[in-house]
Chains A and B, each alone.
Chain A
Amino acid sequence: IPACRTPGVKVPRNFRLLEELEEGQKGVGDGTVSWGLEDDEDIMLTRWTGMIIGPPRTIYENRMYSLKVECGPRYPESPPFVRFVTKINLNGVHNSNGVVDTRAVAALAKWQNSYSIRVVLQELRRLMMCKENMKLPQPPEGQLFSN
């Protein structure tokens, strides 16, 4: 792993994303979130899919939430664009299209280039465990946001 964690060193976008791809495939992390390229042929490594496993002891338990993550050309300097595909009722997620409000998620609002897709997914999962969210009534399982 290149010394990309040294502050001040700007790692090229593709390097970063490839690294994240590898991590996603190797299951780095605690196994509660997963991410990977939406399309293996995507050489720009722009479109990613993510999966969050609903945390236990919340209303989201046992559900799997699918997301789309888009890493723009300025990633990792700019935060990615995140959207829920699986319908969810969560503060900070638009009810109509599943778009995650950048201001509502700390990792996105205060984005740093050392953050990654994994960080964003884990943050969203943490949000599910918050008191204000953990009991929100949810739509029936399996529903998707309409694009």
Chain B
Amino acid sequence: MADNGGADPVNNNNNTTVALEGTIIKVTVKTPKDKEEIAISEDASVTQFKEEISRRFKAKQDQLVLIFAGKILKDGDSLNQHGIKDGLTVHLVIKTAHKAGDGASSSSSGTTQVGSSSGNSSGPSSAAHPSTVGSTGGPASAPPQTPNLLTGFGGLSSLSSMGMGSANFMELQQQMQSQLMSNPEMLSQIMENPLVQNMMSNPDLMRQMIVANPQMQQLMERNPEISHMLNNPELMRQTMELARNPAMMQEMMRNQDRALSNLESIPGGYNALRRMYTDIQEPMFSAARDQFGNNPFSALGGNSDGGVQPSRTENREPLPNPWGSTNPSEGGGGTGTTGSSTTGSTTPSVSNPLGVNSASLGNGMFSSPGMQSLMQQISENPQLMQNMLSAPYMRSIMQSLAQNPDMASQNPASSPSAGENPAQQLMMQQMLQMFAGGNSSSQTPEVQFQQQLEQLGAMGFINREANLQALIATGGDVNAAIERLLGSQPS
């Protein structure tokens, strides 16, 4: 019959034209999504069949895998050989270009990692896990224009919103960020910085910073829970407490991990968690991620085969424990995080909803070259100074600076880059003085240093003006002021 006309299926392979000898049969080609009826000669080879299919399904021939009756049809075979006749169905699988199997898991782990601390200037993101971030990890450098969560700190964001948003400014933030991210030591130093701690003890300030970030705002719109959380001073305070205390944070996280695994075992709980994760945490993470380039969870999750790490989010359900962690997670990510949650990366947790990274605030601020250039800019532009000073955050900073003159002077002095450059150091000091001096909105220096003035007076320094100047210069430090006064007295 026509069988012989087809000769060996092997020889027939290279014919590009469908052999029209022999009868045409209609074979249904079925994919999981689609179904097409293809007319082909019954003597055709699998290759020819695939050509036809690739045309119809708009896929490349080498992406096609045909299955009939439990067997894969190889290119060298003929349809006849497999018994494919009119009216029968062949299954088709179109292979997608990338290995979805591996890709998917690692990308899901990638998405979870977040520069965390959507809250505050934390360049959190596991400095120690750059390698595990692996696949998607994320772009290290965000474009200069990206508003930066770091900006909240030091009122820099207010500066940008005041029209300062020059590219230079943004770069500065980026630099700070990358510095923080790349230097774990810095992170831990930052934590010890009393300035930082001061700031963090002020819930209003924190809140302002967080809210100022446009992405957070977006997030808040989408998730009212988050704004609710921000508005809760108690919560903020706890968050900050946590952030200040890495040990405490670890404790909390461990608790959450435990709670998490418990929740997983509740029937239906897993799904609920998953949902919550996708509803709450992901947007948060993505928002923060843009700024920090990657999601700490992916690093953490790297070990568990790309399992999504438990991301903490605020509890939506009325659990008795206000920190009631309903931490969504996929797969047993729970244990994975505990160990690795420490280094620099802040996994936002229920108790630390914005993932404020204790280790990542502030200190680097002064020592980064970017900051230095900012200082320069500022000193060149008095208007800028004015603006900066009037920012609400700035006031708090100034207040804390004023209250801790030692620390304030330590800061610029200890920052290595400042140390190398005496000019910059001087500038820093001037700036600080200006801060202290500019803090006239709350109280005049005279009032502020009332007590110190009295002390100086009692010691015999009767030149009130000079005293005041000295106090302003030293930020209220009586001893330092005395030295100044003595030094300036004609011998």
CB proximity of A73 to chain B, nearest CB, Å = 21
Q: Which of B61-100 contact A (CB under 8 A)?
A: 65, 67-72, 83, 87-91, 93, 95-96, 99-100
Q: For A63, give the chain B residue with the smallest CB separation.
A: B101
Query: Which of chain B's residues have a CB closer than 8 A to the CB of A25?
Result: 68-69, 83, 88-89
Interface 1/0 per residue, B280-307 and A, CB below 8 Å: 0000000000000000000000000111
Contact, CB under 8 Å: A35 / B69: yes
Report how far A54 CA is from B96 CA in the complex, Å. 13
User: Which one of B28, B65, B69, B307 contacts A36 once the chains associate, using CB atoms below 8 Å?
Assistant: B69
Query: Which of chain A's residues have a CB closer than 8 A to the CB of B267?
Result: none
Q: Which of B101-154 contact A (CB under 8 A)?
A: 101-102, 104-105
Q: Given A34-B91, A64-B65, check contact A27 B70 (CB 8 Å).
A: no
Is B254 among interface residues, defined by CB-CB distance under 8 A? no
Contact, CB under 8 Å: B31 / A54: no
CB proximity of B134 to chain A, nearest CB, Å = 15
SS class, residues of chain A in contact with chain B: loop
CB proximity of B271 to chain A, nearest CB, Å = 10
Query: Which of chain B's residues have a CB closer than 8 A to the CB of A54?
Result: 101
Contact, CB under 8 Å: A27 / B28: yes
Report how far A85 CA is from B53 CA in the complex, Å. 27
CB proximity of B415 to chain A, nearest CB, Å = 46
Query: Which of chain A's residues have a CB closer than 8 A to the CB of B65?
Result: 64
Report how far A131 CA is from B307 CA in the complex, Å. 11
Is A48 among interface residues, defined by CB-CB distance under 8 A? yes
Report how far A26 CA is from B28 CA in the complex, Å. 9
Query: Which 7 A-B pairs have CB atoms at the shortest separation, nearest pair first?
Result: A36-B69, A27-B89, A49-B70, A35-B70, A36-B70, A31-B30, A50-B70
A sample of 5 more A-B contacts (CB under 8 A), given A25-B89, A27-B88, A135-B307, is A27-B91, A31-B30, A66-B71, A66-B72, A135-B105
Measuring CB to CB, which residues of chain A are less than 8 angstroms from any residue of chain B? 21, 24-27, 30-32, 34-38, 40, 48-51, 53-54, 56-64, 66-67, 131, 135, 137-138
In the complex, 5 of the A-B residue pairs with CB atoms within 8 angstroms, ordered by the A residue number, are: A25-B89, A27-B89, A58-B101, A64-B67, A135-B305
